[in-house]
Amino acid sequence: MSSSKEQKHKQRPEEFSFFMEEAEEIKEIVERRPEPGKTAKTRETWYGTLWKHVKQTAEKVFVVSAKWLGTVCKDTKRLGMLAGGAVGLGLLITVIVLAVRLGGVSKELRSVQAMSLSLQEELTVTKQELSENKKLLSTKTAKEQAVTLTPAVTTVPTATPIPTVTPAVKKYIVCVDPGHGDWDGGAVFRDENGRELRAEKDDNLRMSKWFKEALEAYGIEVVLTREDDIYLELKERTSIANNANADVLISFHRNSFDGNEDVRGVEVWIHSSRPQGAEALANGILDGIMEVGGLADRGVKFGSMSSTREDFEINRSAKMTSMIVELGFISSAADNEVYDANGKAYAEKMAKAVYDWLEAQNVVE
């Protein structure tokens, strides 16, 4: 081997040094695997995080392998074989991850099976006890009938008055959707050096929790599509609202405009068909925010930013009155300051607007 080739081969361990670091990180994620009792969302988040790191590692292995092989191998056949080996390594890592996931599922199934056997044993014991109690009761009744000599007294049945039932007013259900989450941070605000100072996903979740608290003060049942930093597909969010039979779906977001902090204000997006109920509620929400002040009123908008005839998924798939509230521009330092100072007040005014609108609909069971 020439001195040049020897030098290139000596560089190989240094080229692949990152792999040990990624392997350690994957190992730590595997060790943090949720227990079987955790929620499906928690397990799904863990699987997603693990898959994300394994995928990144496999991609890095392939890229670095290709780069290194391109410098040390001129033989096309040998290059193809080694590149295939790199791809095989990536597939091997994928198989390991799938094995870990299947192992976790198997463990949970064993746990469920054990619980099932325990319940069966308890059911058998309960059946035996009921059978014995039934025999004792039958014997006791027979003795009482033999001893009792007093003839039965015939009683004239009296009419039982039918109670007056007042129809219960339906408990309103509002689904609140904090936009974005986890790896999908949404719009961000950066300083002059490009450092991220705040992400839309965090503001959305914060406002949703304030809004939930304000709605519950009116006796409204609130369903949050996410309560922590997880990622949900758009159709998952509308499915949660549809399955809850919610009366209203409100999705919170922050707007953004690159290069101009003077672009500010709040706007509400509803379906392109401009349903009267949605438009009335959207205007009520805007009026409430304007009472607090600090944000410019950009009005009610229809469809989406790309077309007035194309709708956002939230409004397209929801089976109830729905809207997207863009609460100020995260790209504007002024809007961010107002958002932080008046956030809870905005939530309270919006909650009152929602309650008043629901009452006006006269929704009863």
Q: Does residue 66 form part of some domain? A: yes
Mean pLDDT of 71-87: 50
Structure tokens at 153: 């007294």
214 with 344, same domain: the answer is yes
Range of the structural domain that residue 329 is part of: 173-361
Do β-strands 297-302 and 266-270 pair in parallel, antiparallel, or remain unpaired? parallel
Of 32-46, 145-159, 246-260, 316-330, minimum mean pLDDT range: 145-159
Distances in Å between the Cα of 193 and the Cα atoms of 3, 142, 160, 190 are: 45, 92, 81, 8
Structure tokens at 238: 């509308």
φ, ψ (nearest 5 deg) of residue 176: -115, 125
Q: Does residue 135 form part of some domain? A: no
Calculate what percentage of the chain has a pLDDT beyond 70. Answer: 55
User: Does the pTM of the predicted model rise above 0.75?
Assistant: no
* Number of domains observed in the structure of the chain: 2
187 with 328, same domain: the answer is yes
Comparison of pLDDT for 97 and 226, the residue scoring more: 226
Q: Does residue 342 form part of some domain? A: yes
Q: Does residue 168 form part of some domain? A: no
Q: Does residue 162 form part of some domain? A: no
pLDDT at 70: 60
At 192, the pLDDT band (50, 70, 90 cuts) reads confident
* DSSP strands (E only) in 239-315: 248-255, 266-270, 297-302
Q: Does residue 350 form part of some domain? A: yes
pLDDT at 345: 98
Residue 37 buriedness (CB in 10 A; 0-12 / 13-18 / 19+): exposed
Q: What is the CATH number of the domain that holds 258?
A: 3.40.630.40
pLDDT at 135: 61
pLDDT at 104: 47
Q: Does residue 153 form part of some domain? A: no
87 with 221, same domain: the answer is no
209 with 315, same domain: the answer is yes
Report CA 24 to chain centroid distance, whole Å: 29
Q: Are 162 and 212 in contact (CB under 8 A)?
A: no
242 with 354, same domain: the answer is yes
